């Protein structure tokens, strides 16, 4: 076997994948086109879902802005900061344990 077969195979693979991606982009409608083609009943349903999502996001933002640290299931700022950190979870836990001098209960 020569290296030419691999090159032809690679070119064929790239061609097929490129053609598939191009066809997908050409035939898939945008969100606006999809929404415009919906029936009025479905448009109302989509609008109600969007409004509900916006209300939920506004409520979550309002909860985050207020200090409800006494509610156990709400994530705290410290937890969000450690979640956004690049370090793995066990590294942040080890760092927190090193700083915590209270004995376990």
* Residue range 7-32, pLDDT digits in tens: 999 999 999 999 999 999 999 999 99
At 59 the pLDDT is: 87
Q: Is 77 inside any structural domain? A: no
pLDDT of 1 strictly over 60? no
pLDDT of 102 strictly over 90? no
Nearest to 78 by CA among 56, 59, 100: 100
State the pLDDT confidence band at 104, using cuts at 50, 70 and 90: low
Q: Is 46 inside any structural domain? A: yes
Q: How many domains does the chain have?
A: 1
Residue 3 DSSP code: H
Q: Which residues form the domain of 53?
A: 31-65
Q: Is 55 inside any structural domain? A: yes
CB 60 within 8 A of CB 68: no
Q: Is 13 inside any structural domain? A: no
């Amino acid at each position: 076997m020569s290296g030419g077969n691999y090159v032809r195979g690679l070119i064929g693979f790239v061609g097929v994948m490129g053609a598939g991606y191009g066809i997908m982009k050409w035939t898939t409608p945008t969100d606006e086109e999809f929404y415009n083609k919906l029936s009025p009943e479905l448009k109302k349903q989509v609008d109600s879902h969007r409004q509900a999502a916006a209300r939920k996001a506004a409520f979550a933002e309002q909860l985050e802005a207020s200090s409800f640290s006494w509610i156990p299931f709400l994530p705290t700022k410290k937890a969000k900061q450690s979640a956004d950190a690049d370090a793995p979870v066990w590294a942040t836990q080890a760092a927190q344990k090193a700083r915590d001098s209270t004995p376990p209960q």
